[in-house]
């Protein structure tokens, strides 16, 4: 039998020095506290992922209720996705200034407010404000930069694996909520679904506030795998200035643009394309909305497997080569999608769903590893900017997909264009040069 003892929190009465010091005497625990923090982070991201399940389910209902064009609805989703990315680097810096749990708790409340207010909207600008601006800002603070910050602070070993697990949490949220929300929309219309998303975000707030800790030093521990105790650094002031300074320094390096460009294509071919437009595209071919939603949920199941496996592979193989393989295979699969869509689910479609799930965000662990390799201590903020490019790519395709559907009456053009872009992303990944693991941008607060 394994006996587990969780160490009590240690109240900090004085500001700890911003340097490495010997670890204070503490009781040992068979399971490191870092794994409990990772578990809370996983559950938090699952709760926040509820709102990400809804946009693709709203396109047809909002079009039918208000007569808004799919391009207009796609614009709201586009703003949401863009802000999701553009907020992320600033959120990473705010976590350095105010702490992880404060930033995440406020973000969840903003998501709940934005989703809840959509119940009373009757104009398109209100959709842009609530679903685009508010939910976009809140979700940006819950982006993968959150997972990167937790991983960087609490782990020095198994970072690839932990990154994969936390990234997979988003897919788990989709798995849990997408079929439920599709059933609610199909039986009770879209407003109860929006309320469900708001409540899901609020339920997670107490868990974040009570259980999440900002740094291992808060509980008198070393990071998992570290040989020496690392004191908690003082709050970093000038979060916005530091975020922009890191961007300007990173932008002078070639790897940043290759990572940002390839990750923009990643976002275009996942969040912007499949997550936003797969359900309405399948519905165009006679498939019911709940069935299409279940297929997206299956993508979520295999996304968990693929992302964790990718984290494991990233700890053992060269990250840039993994990225090239992931993007190339994704591009090939998209070229076949238009001939697979049908009223019923057939074996080739199931194969596509399983494959796309395995590849969905398998790109995250190697991309984050390359950020650490090239940018060291500033990697969380750099990754936040790379994630911003991911969401800008997603935003462009979310909007373009709606315009293509309005113009041509089908989504075929956008499937083929995205497949070609994935081939370009594979080439970009291959030309990223090797970086020193200890390289940093050395940006002062």
Owner of token pair 């991309």: 367
Q: Residue-wise over 156-180: b if at least 16 C-beta within 10 A, else e? A: bebbbbbbbbbbbbbbbbbbbbbbb
pTM (predicted TM-score)? 0.67
- List the chain residues with pLDDT less than 50: 1-28, 437-445
Q: What are phi and psi of 341, to 5 degrees?
A: -70, 130
Q: What is the pLDDT of residue 261?
A: 94
Residue 409: CB partners within 8 Å, gap ≥ 6?
none
442 in any annotated domain: no
- Contact (Cβ atoms closer than 8 angstroms) between residue 236 and residue 83: no
Give the pLDDT of residue 256: 93
pLDDT number for residue 42: 84
- Sequence-distant (6+) residues with CB within 8 A of 309 are 164, 358, 362
Contacts of 330 (CB under 8 A, 6+ apart): 269, 356, 359, 422
Q: Where are the alpha helices (DSSP H) in 49-99?
A: 55-66, 70-86, 88-98
The tokens for 411 are 């989504």
Among left, alpha and beta (phi > 0; psi -120 to 50; other), residue 136 is: alpha
Q: Which two tokens stand for residue 400?
A: 């373009």
pLDDT of residue 174: 66
- The verdict on residue 170 lying in a domain is yes
Structural domain boundaries, residue 247: 33-225+236-430
User: Hey, which bits of 286-411 come out as E strands?
Assistant: none
119 within some domain: yes
Distance CA 177, CA 55 (A): 12
Assign residue 265 the CATH number of its domain.
1.20.1250.20
| Residue 14 within a domain | no
Structure token digits, residue 250: 């990173």
Specify the number of domains making up the chain. 1
Contact at 8 Å (CB) between 251 and 377?
no
Are residues 92 and 381 in contact, defined by beta-carbon separation less than 8 angstroms?
yes
Residue 436 inside a domain? The answer is no
Instruction: Note whether 205 and 341 are within 8 A (CB).
Output: no
Contact 379, 153 (CB under 8 A): no
Phi, psi of 236 (to 5 degrees): -90, 115
pLDDT one-digit tens code per residue, 232-258? 777 666 767 878 888 899 999 989 999
Residue 242 in tokens? 């530091």
pLDDT in tens, 290-336: 888 888 888 878 888 888 888 889 888 889 899 999 999 999 999 99
Positive or negative CA dihedral for 120, 126, 127, 132? Answer: negative
Q: Is residue 11 part of a domain?
A: no
Distance CA 24, CA 26 (A): 6
**Contact call for residues 335 and 419 (beta carbons, < 8 A):** yes
Instruction: Note whether residue 9 is domain-resident.
Output: no
DSSP 378-425: GHHHHHHHHHHHHHHHHHHHHHHHHHHHHHHSSSHHHHHHHHHHHHHH
Residue 13, in any domain of the structure: no
The pLDDT score that the predictor gives to residue 1 is: 40
pLDDT at residue number 419: 93
């Amino acid at each position: 039998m394994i006996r587990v003892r969780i160490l009590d929190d240690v109240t900090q009465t004085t500001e700890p020095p911003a340097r490495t010091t010997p670890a204070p005497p503490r009781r040992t625990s068979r399971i490191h506290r870092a794994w409990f923090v990772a578990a809370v982070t996983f559950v938090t991201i699952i709760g926040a992922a509820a709102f990400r399940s809804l946009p693709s389910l709203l396109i047809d209902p909002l079009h039918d209720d208000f007569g808004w064009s799919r391009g207009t609805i796609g614009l709201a989703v586009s703003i949401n996705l863009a802000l999701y990315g553009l907020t992320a680097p600033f959120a990473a810096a705010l976590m350095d200034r105010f702490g992880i749990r404060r930033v995440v708790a406020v973000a969840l409340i903003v998501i709940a407010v934005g989703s809840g207010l959509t119940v009373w909207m009757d104009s398109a600008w209100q959709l842009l404000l609530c679903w685009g601006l508010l939910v976009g800002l809140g979700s940006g603070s819950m982006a993968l930069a959150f997972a990167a910050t937790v991983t960087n602070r609490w782990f020095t070993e198994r970072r690839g694996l932990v990154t994969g697990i936390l990234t997979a949490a988003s897919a788990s949220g989709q798995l849990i909520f997408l079929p439920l929300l599709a059933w609610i929309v199909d039986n009770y219309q879209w407003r109860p679904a929006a309320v469900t998303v708001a409540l899901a975000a609020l339920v997670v707030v107490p868990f974040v506030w009570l259980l999440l800790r900002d740094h291992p030093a808060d509980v008198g521990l070393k990071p998992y795998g570290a040989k020496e105790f690392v004191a908690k650094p003082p709050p970093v002031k000038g979060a916005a200035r530091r975020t922009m300074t890191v961007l300007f320094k990173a932008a002078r390096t070639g790897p940043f643009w290759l990572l940002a460009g390839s990750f923009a294509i990643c976002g275009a071919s996942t969040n912007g394309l499949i997550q936003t437009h797969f359900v309405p595209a399948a519905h165009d071919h006679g498939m019911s909305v709940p069935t299409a939603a279940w297929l997206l949920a299956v993508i979520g199941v295999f996304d968990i497997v693929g992302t964790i496996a990718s984290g494991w592979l990233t700890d053992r193989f060269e990250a840039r080569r993994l990225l090239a393989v992931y993007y190339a295979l994704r591009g090939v699969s998209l070229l076949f999608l238009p001939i697979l869509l049908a009223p019923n689910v057939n074996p080739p479609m199931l194969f596509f769903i399983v494959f796309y799930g395995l590849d969905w965000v398998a790109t995250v662990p190697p991309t984050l590893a390359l950020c650490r390799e090239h940018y060291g201590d500033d990697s969380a903020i750099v990754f936040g900017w790379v994630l911003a490019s991911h969401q800008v790519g997603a935003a462009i395709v979310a909007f373009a997909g709606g315009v293509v559907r309005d113009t041509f009456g089908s989504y075929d053009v956008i499937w083929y264009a995205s497949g070609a872009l994935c081939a370009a992303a594979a080439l970009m990944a291959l030309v990223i040069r090797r970086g020193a693991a200890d390289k940093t941008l050395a940006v002062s607060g």
